[in-house]
Amino acid sequence: MSKHPRPRYTSKSSVQTLGEGLEEYYEFHPHLTNPKELPPEFAKILMAHDASHIIYGCDIGMYDELKLLPLTWWTSDYKFRDHLRTLKDPTIGPAVKRMYDDMVKQHGLLWLYGSIFFVLPPLLPELIKMWFKNHKRQRFVPFVNFEPLLDRPLLEIRQEFDLLSFIK
């Protein structure tokens, strides 16, 4: 597969399947932890997070990472309360903490907070618009149990769950 400036799954109208998008995601980002190499409990939540990157057309930059969490909480069946429970889980919580610690170790705390500081102001208006579009949402994207979507085209998934307006 030839490299593109941006992964194809980030295109609003991508017709590749979710499974193909995940393959491309790991190909574009070989430094990311492969969920297949982790304990099953943590692998499942990490894989769901990675699948969310594909479904919502988000890459791994700070802007997209900060956009992805609230977008997931507002449009999927994985809510903020689920996220808090996940962080408190004795198996998964320490693994998530280790992931954040590794990121800080790799880039530094100044990079992390500096990135958030510079990215958050331009992102806030988009987050506010997203919240208004979603606060009465009735249909939610499956988060942890996303496997039935693997063979479906991204455009079809995005249309079914009314996600196209969140992808640039």
Nearest to 62 by CA among 120, 125, 126, 131: 120
Q: What is the pLDDT of residues 51-65, one digit of tens each?
A: 999 999 999 888 999
| The two structure tokens encoding residue 7 | 């992964």
Average pLDDT of span 137-161: 97
| The two structure tokens encoding residue 102 | 């590794």
Report yes or no on 168 lying in a domain: no
In this prediction, residue 136 carries a pLDDT of: 87
The number of domains in the chain is 1
Q: How confident is the model at residue 47 (pLDDT cuts 50, 70, 90)?
A: very high
- Check: CB of residue 25 under 8 Å from CB of residue 54: yes
- Check: CB of residue 58 under 8 Å from CB of residue 52: yes
Mean per-residue pLDDT of the chain: 90
Nearest to 34 by CA among 24, 20, 21, 47: 47
User: Would you say residue 152 has pLDDT above 80?
Assistant: yes
Report yes or no on 30 lying in a domain: yes
Q: What is the pLDDT of residues 3-21, one digit of tens each?
A: 557 899 999 999 999 999 9
- Check: CB of residue 71 under 8 Å from CB of residue 166: yes
Amino acid code (one letter) for 148: P
Report yes or no on 49 lying in a domain: yes
- Check: CB of residue 24 under 8 Å from CB of residue 71: no
Report yes or no on 119 lying in a domain: yes
Report yes or no on 66 lying in a domain: yes
User: Would you say residue 163 has pLDDT above 50?
Assistant: yes
Report yes or no on 38 lying in a domain: yes
In this prediction, residue 2 carries a pLDDT of: 47
- Domain span at residue 82 reads 8-163
Report yes or no on 1 lying in a domain: no
Report yes or no on 2 lying in a domain: no
- Check: CB of residue 33 under 8 Å from CB of residue 46: yes
User: Would you say residue 102 has pLDDT above 80?
Assistant: no
Average pLDDT of span 157-161: 98
User: Would you say residue 39 has pLDDT above 70?
Assistant: yes
